[in-house]
Structure 1
Amino acid sequence: MDLEQLFYQNKEQSLQERNINLDSIEPILRKLNTNNQLEIIGNSVLGMPIYKYQIGSGKIKILLWSQMHGNESTTTKALFDLLNLINNGSELAKKIQSKFTLCCIPMLNPDGALLYTRENANKIDLNRDSQNLSQPESIVLRAIFESFKPDFCYNLHDQRSIFGVGNTGKPATLSFLAPSYNKACDINESRLRAINLISGINDFLQQYIPGQVGRFDDSFNINCIGDTFQSLGVPTILFEAGHFKNDYLRNETRKFVFLAYLSSLNIIDENDIVANKIDKYLSIPQNKVVFYDFIFKNIKINYDGIEIITNFAAQYKEELIEGKICFNAYIIKIGEVDDFFGHFEYDGKGASFKNDFGLFPEINQKADFYLDNHLKIVNGLMIS
């Protein structure tokens, strides 16, 4: 079976942008609601509905929630791709529905999605509210967890383009974590099942993105929802969708998330999570902050008549402008960058810097400038 082709056949074409809000997904949910699988389970701070979509009749129950952080939409898009597959009437779809019951909350934080922010409308990070349960969205998720009684939990997120796979120079296109259930980061039966599942997913993904899977830090924080659910005895997996080369809209990464979802179902169905795979899990390199979006090396700058050769880095800032996400590059580091990689790297070979403000870069300036007066850089990218 060509799984990549399966992705393209079931890809939800209406979801292409980084900013996915409630208006984006409600028509799709209505289309998929062929047998009363859709239910409003609560409301956000601003009164927007929080939807649950449940499908399947199998004994293995999986709770999946996405956009707990409103500006993290890649796993949401891949979730709808998966739901399209499960609803397409194929033999694979029938098998999944017979083996599993999937309870999906595709957008836990619709207010944050609308505003394109990590937090909810009260400026609370829902992934730090699992104990206080101070927010309506947190209460909704906990109520579904307790009523559904899942066998597995999938906590679905995006991570920034700054993360790499250790010091390999490869971006962390996907990262995973079996959260800790106590401060000692011990491994009990529940966490081991999550560890074994991640090990299997990683083995599968190496066929498609070799060396581009990372492992998230497992420091314990009971206020995080994954740590809480793990501590309550339910194997929980953190999915983090990250950067793939030249894929700032994350549509390639989305494909790999879809493949990770599918592989996880196959691994669980085959009960390939009973062996001890701790060593394989720990062999997945940890995420590390080692990337800038742009690195410019060996650039000549002029400070008050004194010429020096230096380096600087720029990073995209995602800015919501008239309903669209704009990637605007700003200078964020000047000087030593030897311990970092750039998704785009330029060696100026001593070329002179000049922009509208002078002969040297400054922190928080837009990455718009000239090198030797003829090479033009706009928004970090060379255009002439």
Structure 2
Amino acid sequence: MNLEQLFLENKEKTIEGRYLTLESIEPILNKINTNNQLSIIGQSVQGRPIYKYNIGEGKTKIYLWSQMHGNESTTTKALFDFLNLLHNGSDLAQKFLSHFTFCCLPMLNPDGAFLYTRANANEIDLNRDSQDLTQPESKLLRAVFEDFKPDYCYNLHDQRTIFGVADTGKPATVSFLAPSYNQEREINDSRQKAINIIAEMNSVLQQFIPGQVGRFDDSFNINCIGDTFQYLGVPTILFEAGHFQGDYHREVTRKYIFMALVSSFTKLSENVIDINRTEEYLNIPQNKVVFYDFIYKKVKINYDGNEKLTNFAAQYKEELIDGEINFNAYIAKIDDLEGFFGHEEFDAQGALYNDDLNSFPKIDQKANFSLGKEYKFVNGLIKK
């Protein structure tokens, strides 16, 4: 199977970038509503519809939800790419549709999507509301779970550019987790099934992004939805779509999420009883906060008349302005950057720092500055 070609053939070209709202996806949902697969199951805090999309006639039931966090849109794009595959009439599509029944909530948090926030309109993190169920979106997610009675749950998220694969200096482009079902982080039959699927997806992705797959922390928190569903005995897999080099709009990462989805369902449809793949799973390096978007090394600064060499880092803040996401770089860390990497790194070789106000960088100021007379940086990047 040529996964690269499969992605290109099924990519949903009407959506791209980071800012994905309900208005963006409703035309696609209506387009693929070919046999009354689409329904509205309720409303968000601000009254936006929350859609459910069911497709397939197979015995194995797969529950997928995306944009539980409103500003995490990469997996939503990949989910629609996958739904396009199910509609393309191919042998693979027929195989999946006969083996599985898919139940998708492609945008659980439409208010957060519109506001470009992690939380919902009540400023509640839905992924910490799985026990109290204080929010309408959380209640709907749980109600569908209880009604659908899935065999597997796919919990689809994004993660920030700060995450790398352990201390390798490579970004965690895709990360997975088979959530724990108890404080002891033991492995039962349910969790083992999730672990085996992750091991398979990792083995496929290593062919495309070697060394860029991470494993998320498995500390148990019953308030998280994945931990809750695992606790209730349903194999649950957390997907984290992360950074690929230069891909701040996550158009490359969406491809790898699509590949992971396809490879997981291919494996599940084979009806092969897996050997225990726990060792493979545990050999996936853990996610670690080791990245800044920019690191500047060996910078000379003048502080109170004293010159010295230092390092500093800048990080993008994703700011919604007039309906568009702006990546604005701000100084985030100064001096001690041991163990950290930059997605972009610049060796100043002792060039003197200067900006419009100071002769040294300050936390939270915009990353607009000069290094010596030769290099001028605007929004973190060298101005050419």
Tell me what 2:101 maps to.
101
For 2:255 and 2:309, how far apart are their aligned partners in 1? 42
SS of the counterpart of 1:349? coil
Residues 1:195 and 1:39: Cα distance change in structure 2 (over 3 Å): same
Decide whether the 8 Å contact of 1:126 with 1:137 is kept in 2. yes
Tell me what 2:201 maps to.
201
Q: Which amino acid letter does the alignment assign opposite residue 97 of structure 1?
A: L
Whether 1:210 aligns to 2:213 is: no
Tell me what 1:239 maps to.
239
Which deviates further from its counterpart, 178-187 or 89-98? Answer: 89-98
SS of the counterpart of 2:98? helix
CA drift of 1:336 comes to 1.3
Whether 1:115 aligns to 2:115 is: yes
State the superposition RMSD in angstroms.
0.7
Whether 1:230 aligns to 2:225 is: no
1:265-284 CA deviation, whole Å, 9 max, x = no partner? Answer: 01111234531111111000
Q: Which amino acid letter does the alignment assign opposite residue 17 of structure 1?
A: G
Map 1:237-316 → 2, pairs under 5 A: 237-272=237-272, 274-316=274-316
For 1:345 and 1:374, how far apart are their aligned partners in 2? 17
Tell me what 2:10 maps to.
10
For 1:238 and 1:375, how far apart are their aligned partners in 2? 43
Tell me what 1:39 maps to.
39
For 2:331 and 2:49, how far apart are their aligned partners in 1? 39
User: What is the TM-score normalised by the length of structure 1?
Assistant: 0.99
CA drift of 1:93 comes to 1.1
Tell me what 1:28 maps to.
28
Residues 1:355 and 1:10: Cα distance change in structure 2 (over 3 Å): same
Seq. identity, % = 68
For 2:273 and 2:213, how far apart are their aligned partners in 1? 19
CA drift of 1:305 comes to 1.4
1:192-248 CA deviation, whole Å, 9 max, x = no partner? Answer: 000111011101111111010000000000000000000000000000000000000
Q: Which amino acid letter does the alignment assign opposite residue 2 of structure 2?
A: D
For 2:283 and 2:72, how far apart are their aligned partners in 1? 27
Decide whether the 8 Å contact of 1:196 with 1:273 is kept in 2. no
SS of the counterpart of 2:208? coil
Decide whether the 8 Å contact of 1:297 with 1:310 is kept in 2. yes
For 2:212 and 2:145, how far apart are their aligned partners in 1? 31
Q: Which amino acid letter does the alignment assign opposite residue 282 of structure 1?
A: L
For 2:77 and 2:272, how far apart are their aligned partners in 1? 27
For 1:300 and 1:93, how far apart are their aligned partners in 2? 59
Decide whether the 8 Å contact of 1:193 with 1:273 is kept in 2. no
SS of the counterpart of 2:327? strand
For 2:280 and 2:92, how far apart are their aligned partners in 1? 29
For 1:129 and 1:253, how far apart are their aligned partners in 2? 28
SS of the counterpart of 2:348? strand
1:288-347 CA deviation, whole Å, 9 max, x = no partner? Answer: 000000000000111121111100000000000000000000001000112100000000
CA drift of 1:17 comes to 1.6
Tell me what 2:359 maps to.
359
CA drift of 1:55 comes to 0.4
User: What is the TM-score normalised by the length of structure 2?
Assistant: 0.99
Gaps of 5+ in 2: none
For 1:137 and 1:271, how far apart are their aligned partners in 2? 34
For 1:268 and 1:164, how far apart are their aligned partners in 2? 29
